[in-house]
Amino acid sequence: MTSPRAWLPNEPRVIDAARQQALTEQHLQPAIGALMALMQGIRSSLDPVLRAARPTKWGKPYPLGQCLEISLAVKRRLRELNPATLSGEAAKGHVALAAFLAAGGHMHQVWGDLRGEYFQNAFLAGTLYIDVSNDTVVPTKPPVEILPFDQARLNPVADFAHFARLATRYWQAQVHPNHLLPDLAPYYPLITIIPGVGTQLQADSGYMVALAHAHGFAPSRAVLEATPMDTTLFATLVCALRHEGHCAIPHDAIRGRALALQACDSAAAVGRPLDDSLRQRLGQQIAAVNANLLRTPPQL
């Protein structure tokens, strides 16, 4: 018998589906209205704080584009919440959720491709999809949506080609292979240029990094095998990284392509575990690189 594959960070997948369905039916489904009241109350209380902290993102007013920020804030609030401060339906919703979790129910943040239209962060509680940032693409939608997960159509991002297609549709991004920084290419094999935003190495996502690693960097290699990056674009991005001293930059995109593919093969051969130290180092590197790349004009 083959063992079940490892769960990737924030993967939209129900684990132990039969048990989670039974616990959902027992604890959560009878209290859907109360659970909705709990999530709506938390979201309403957080909106003024989040709006003040980040009034705009990518030139768009809050809450547009801030599904991650909202989801993380709700996650923190749920963890720190004092039930004594709740009343009415919200209190009943908290009781139901607490009973579900105490009985072995799973609730975790998930991320993926929502209905083939955009990236979305949400929560999976048992077999319920709980979106506390439902209005971050279409602001006229209700802020909170709860429905059976199998009706939500939140699908895992399959590979970097899938990521690129959705980035092109959702962000109107130009997507290019990362022939610029071959040392980082196994984990971050794409470069996006988003109108009105800037240039970024992609994908800065724990899920995508783990996906590349879990499949021996074959998903990264698949997109890095594309035609070498345009010479003018390459030169412009090299200029943007002139102060970046932590990553080697090749002389040209042709050489960069060869080195990026070689880096994928080397990383797969070494088979280093994706442990906390590696995650931390990668996070520091991409943060530094993307900060420099954001200084590049968004339209080239």
Q: What is the pLDDT of residues 263-299, one digit of tens each?
A: 999 999 988 888 889 999 999 999 989 988 887 665 5
What's phi and psi for 109, nearest 5 deg? -75, 140
Q: What is the token pair recorded at 64?
A: 């547009």
Best CA proximity match to 106, nearest among 76, 128, 78: 128
Q: How far apart are the two ends of the chain, measured CA to CA in Å?
A: 52
Percent of the chain with pLDDT over 70: 95
- Residue-wise pLDDT tens digits, 183-213: 999 999 999 999 888 899 999 899 999 999 9
The pLDDT of residue 247: 75
Q: How far apart are CA 228 and CA 185, in angstroms?
A: 13
Which range, of 38-47, 68-77, 229-238, averages the lowest pLDDT? Answer: 229-238
CA torsion through residues 154, 157, 161, 165, sign: positive
Q: What is the largest CA-CA distance in the chain?
A: 65
| Average predicted confidence (pLDDT) for the chain | 93
Which tokens sit at 228?
Answer: 């070498």
Q: Which of 41-50, 222-231, 246-255 has the lowest mean pLDDT?
A: 246-255
Containing 102, the helix (H) or strand (E) segment is helix 88-102
- Asked whether the predicted pLDDT for residue 175 surpasses 80, the reply is yes
| Separation CA 94–CA 88 (nearest Å) | 10
For residues 221-246, average pLDDT:
88
Write b or e for each residue in 180-193: b if 16 or more Cβ atoms lie within 10 A of its Cβ, otherwise e.
bbbbbbbbbbbbbb
Question: What pLDDT score was predicted for residue 72?
Answer: 97
